[in-house]
Structure 1
C-alpha cells in the first residue's frame, strides 16, 4: 500500500537538549490548519510540538514516560487496510480532514460505533453529546432503516467484514425502540453488540437488562468514574442496582472511567478493587484518559491532562504493586495471535493493529486464597510467546508445512507457562492449543470469564492530535451517509464530522417535541434512586437516608 507522506520536515521544531523521535502531521487547535509536527523527548517525557503561522507554537504532553513509549513502539505494525473504502480521496489534505474511510487508511474496523441518539438524561460537565436547546439544538436519532444501512456498510468492509458494534449516544436507553435496534443489528450478522450506557434507566427498570440481552446485547459498557459520590456524581448511587440487574440477566459489564487529573486519578486502584469485588459480573475495566475538548489555556491543560503511562503507574502504586507497570502491553501486541490463525486457516482475521500509543491492556486473575491480583505476566512468558507465534506465522506464510509448524508450536506451549504460579483451574497451554490449532474458541471465552481485563484507551484532542494515529485507528463511527469515520476525527474535529452529520440528519428540538408530545427536558434524571435508603452495596459514604444535596439531580 502506498501511504500518504506523514513525515513532513521537523526543521525548527526540535529544541536544544531534546531527542527527536519522529515527525507527523497535526492540526492547529485554533484554526484547524494542518501542520507539520515533531514528536520529541526530554526529561523522560514525550511531547508533540507544532507551529501555526497565525497562532504560534503549541506544545503538548504526548506520553509521560519515554522508556515505556519505546517499549510499546516495538509492537508497531501496519494493518490490512481497507480494500473497500467508503470515501474517495479528495483534495490535498488526505488525512484527518476528509476521513471516510479513504484508501490510505491502514486498518479495518475492529469496533464500530452507532450513535442512536444525542439525547441524554444527564448533563455532565465534560460531555459533548447533550442536545442543547440554548445552542440552537437538534435531536439526532437515525431510523431503523438508516441503522441497518450503516451496519450493511460495515459488513461490506474488506478484507475483514466488521462484526462488532457499540451502540452509543447520548444515552441509548432513552430510545424506546432500542430492543428493535439491537435485533436489527444482530440480524445483519454482527456477533458482538456492546451497549454504552450510564445505566440509570436500567437501575430504574431492571427488566430492561434481560430485554437487551435477549435481543442480542453482549455486554454493557458502563460509565463509572469513581468509587465515591464526589468522583462519580453521575451514577454512583445507581451502579449497584445496574450490577444487580446484570446478575439477574447474566449480562457482563465493562466499567468505563473517564480519567481526569486532580479529579479521580487517586481512585484508579480503588476502581480495580471495585471490579474485583464484583468480578462475578464485571469482566473488564477500560480507563479513558480525558480528551480535552474546546479551547483551553496551557495551564488548564496541565491541570487536567493525564496520559496512558500516568494511569499505568497510578494503578501500580494504588494496588500495592499487584498490577505492575511491566504487565501492560500495547494493543497491537496481540497481532501475532491473529497472524498464526490466518496462516493456519488461510483466511484474513481481525487484527488489532492500531497505533501502539493509542491503548494498552493486561489481564489479571484473582487468587481467592489471599484475594490478591495475579497479572498474566507473572505466570506466562508473554514476550517469548508472542515472538514465537510471529515466527511460526512467518514460516507458514513462507511455505513451511502448516501441520508440522503447528505441531512444533504445540510442543512448546507448555514452556511459556510457569505452572507453579498459574492460578488454580487455569490451563493456558490447553486454551492456546484449542484456540490456535483447533480453532475452538470456547476456552478463550472461559479465560475471559475467569480473568479481569484492564484496558486504557486515550482518545485524542486538538492539542495532542497525531494524524498517524488517526490513519491507524480501528474504532470507527458508522454514519447515515455511508461514511465510516475514525473515532478521533469524528469527535475531535467535530466541525467536519459529528456536528455536521448529526445536524444534517437530525431534526429541531421543537419538531421532536411535537412528534413525541413531551419536552426534551422531561427525560432528565431527577435522582429518584438517590433519595431515601441507598443500595447497601453502593459504597456511599453518606448515612442511609441522607440527601447528597450537592449532586446533580438531587
Structure 2
C-alpha cells in the first residue's frame, strides 16, 4: 500500500486563521520541515510552515520542565483555551515578562505595528489606571521578574517619569522601556535622567536595520541617524540596552550577524532580541504560507552570521521552548565567550522544582565558577549578577565580571492565527496587562483581546454555548 509523504509527529489544537474557531491540527514532518496541518469545516484546509529544523523542534521537547505558576488566577475556565484569558487556571506559566501599555499615541506610524499605534491616536492612560495595572501584575507575581513599559511610544507620555517612579516603587526586579529611541536621540538630558533609574532598568530599543529602504518599509521613516544618536547617548550614560530587531523574511534577515557584531561593540548594549513578524496588526502583501520566518530559521542565521554562537550555544528557553531561544556570552574587552553551550542541559533543567532562576542550584554555580574563576576566590571576591539574566541562573561571579559583561541573544517568536498552537500558548510567559486587571498572554491578546477584538470573540463564545446546549 502507498505511504503518506510525511510522518505525523504529534496532535494539537489550533484555530482557523479566518474565523478563529478552534480546530484540530496535526504536526507533520515533510521534506525536512515541520508543518502544521489543520482543517476548518467553514474555511477548509491550511498547511503552515512552523520549523525548518526537525532536530531542533524535537530538542525543544527535551527542555520542558515543571511550570512556575502565578500566585493567583484572573479568570475562570469556561470556554477553554484560548477563549478564557487570562490568566486562567489552565495556563501553565507565570509571567516572565509583562507588558504595560501606557498610550496608543506614537510619533511613528510603523506599517508592521501590531497595536496599530499612530500620531493620530490620543489615548493616554492616567497614572491612577497605570498604578492599578501595576498592582494587578504584582498581585499575580508578588515580585515580577520584568515589567516592560510600552505603547504606542511610552516616552512621549506627559507623565512618563512619574510612570517610572511608580514602577520603581513596586517590588519589580527589572523594568524595561520599549521605545523607538527618538526622544532619547533628540534630548540628551532625557537620556541622562533615564540613567538615574539604574540598576534594574533597561531600554528595549527598536533596531531593525542599517539600511534606509528596510527602515522605510518596516517603520515608515529613515531612522538611521536617530538610532546612531540614541546609541551615543545610551553609551555615554551606560544605560543597559537591548537592541530589538523585527525581522521580515527576505528583507532584513541578512543583517542578523552585523547587528550582533554592532551590539558587541557598544558599551551599553547587553544583547539583541530578534522577533520574526507576527501576522497581527498592519500587514500588507504578507502571505503567511510563503513569507513566514520561523524561529529555527532565525536561529540558523544567528549561528551562520554572528561569528560568535555555534549550534550548542542557542538553546530553547525552558519556560516556553517552542517560541523562545536564547544564547548567552560574556564579553571581556574584545574577547567574547559563549556561555550556554558550556552548560550541560541536564544542569539547566535540574535544580529547585518550578523555578528557572536557580539561585539555590549549587551544581550550576560550581560550573560557572569553573568557567570564570580567573584565579579568584568566589567566597572572598564575589558579587552577584542581580540584574537580568533571563532564564539562566543568577550566580555569584568574580568581582571584575558584572552585568556590563553580559551579552545575550534572544529569539522571541509570537504565535499568530496561522501557527497558533493551544498546547504551546498555554506555556506562554510573555504577557500583557489588560486595563481591567487581567494578565493575558501576548499571543492571544493580539488575536482576541486588543481593542474591539473581544466583540468578535463573544460571537465564538455564544456559538459554543448554543452548541453545548444542542
- Normalised by the length of structure 2, the TM-score is 0.83
C-alpha distance in 1 between matches for 2:53 and 2:12: 19
In the alignment, what sits opposite 1:60?
48
How many residues align? The count is 435
Q: For 1:314-463, what aligned pairs fall within 5 Å after superposition?
A: 314-320=301-307, 322-332=308-318, 353-354=319-320, 356-366=321-331, 368=333, 371=334, 373-377=336-340, 380-383=342-345, 385-386=347-348, 390=350, 393=352, 409=363, 413=366, 417=370, 446-463=401-418
Residue 499 of structure 1 aligns with which residue? 451
Change (3 A) 1:16 1:448: farther
**Aligned equivalents of 2:256, 2:303: Cα separation in 1:** 9
Task: Call closer, same or farther: CA 1:111–1:324 in 2, change over 3 Å.
Answer: same
Q: Deviations over 1:447-470 (max 9, x none)?
A: 532131111000111100111222
2:202 equivalent among 219, 227, 237: 219
- 1:167-204 superposed Cα distances (whole Å, 9 cap, x missing partner): 01111111121000110121122231100000011111
**Structure 1 range deviating more: 138-147 or 443-452:** 443-452
Matched, 1:141 2:124: yes
Q: CA deviation at 1:44?
A: 2.2
Contact 1:323 1:373 in 2 (8 A): no
Contact preservation (8 Å) 2:383, 2:398: no
CA distance in 2, matches of 1:163, 1:364: 21
Residue 20, structure 1, aligned to residue 11, structure 2? no
From the superposition, tell whether residues 315 and 215 of structure 1 become closer, same or farther in structure 2 (CA, over 3 Å). closer
Query: Which has the larger share of helix?
Result: 1
> What secondary structure does 1:300 align onto?
coil
- Deviation, structure 1 residue 236: 1.8
The Cα of 1:115 is off from its aligned counterpart by 0.5
What are the ranges of 5 or more consecutive residues in structure 2 without an aligned counterpart? 354-359, 387-392, 456-470
2: CA distance, partners of 1:102 / 1:177: 32
**What are structure 1's unaligned runs of at least 5 residues?**
1-14, 333-352, 395-402, 504-554
Q: Is the 8 A contact 1:227 1:274 kept in 2?
A: no
CA distance in 1, matches of 2:242, 2:368: 32
Task: Verify: 1:200 aligned to 2:182, yes or no.
Answer: yes
2:442 aligned with 1:487, yes or no? Answer: yes
Gap change, CA 1:170 and 1:79, over 3 Å in 2: same
- Kept in 2, the 8 Å contact 1:82–1:105? The answer is no
Please state how far the C-alpha of 1:123 moved relative to its aligned partner. 1.5
In structure 2, what is the equivalent of residue 467 of structure 1?
A: 422
Q: Does 2:37 align with 1:49? A: yes
- The Cα shift of 1:81 comes to 2.6
In the aligned structure 1, how far is the partner of 2:109 from the partner of 2:282? 20
Does structure 1 conserve the Cα–Cα contact (< 8 Å) formed by 2:36 and 2:50? Answer: yes
1:229-259 Cα deviation digits (max 9, x unpaired) = 2333442221121112112333111000001
How far, CA to CA, are the matches of 2:283 and 2:445 in structure 1?
20
State the Cα distance separating 1:441 from its structure 2 match: 5.4
The residue number in structure 2 matching 1:177 is 159
Alignment of 1:249-268 (within 5 A): 249-268=237-256
Secondary structure at the residue paired with 2:275?
A: strand
What residue is the counterpart of 1:187 in the other structure? 169
Give the 3 Å change call, closer, same or farther, for CA 236–425 of structure 1 in structure 2.
Answer: farther
Q: 1:253 to 1:294 in 2, by over 3 A?
A: closer
CA–CA separation in structure 2 for the residues paired with 1:295 and 1:36: 28
- DSSP 3-state at the match of 2:348: helix
* Maintained 8 Å contact 2:96/2:429: yes
**Aligned: 1:154 with 2:117:** no
Matches within 5 A, 1:70-81: 70-81=58-69
- Partners of 1:270 and 1:221 in 2: CA distance: 18
Indicate the residue corresponding to 2:257 in structure 1.
Answer: 269
CA contact (8 A) 1:365 1:423 kept: no
Other structure's SS at 1:119 match: coil
Point out the structure with the larger strand share.
2
Give RMSD over aligned pairs: 3.4
Q: Provide closer, same or farther for how the CA distance between residues 226 and 430 of structure 1 changes in structure 2, counting only shifts above 3 A.
A: farther
Distance change in 2, residues 1:434/1:384 (3 Å)? farther
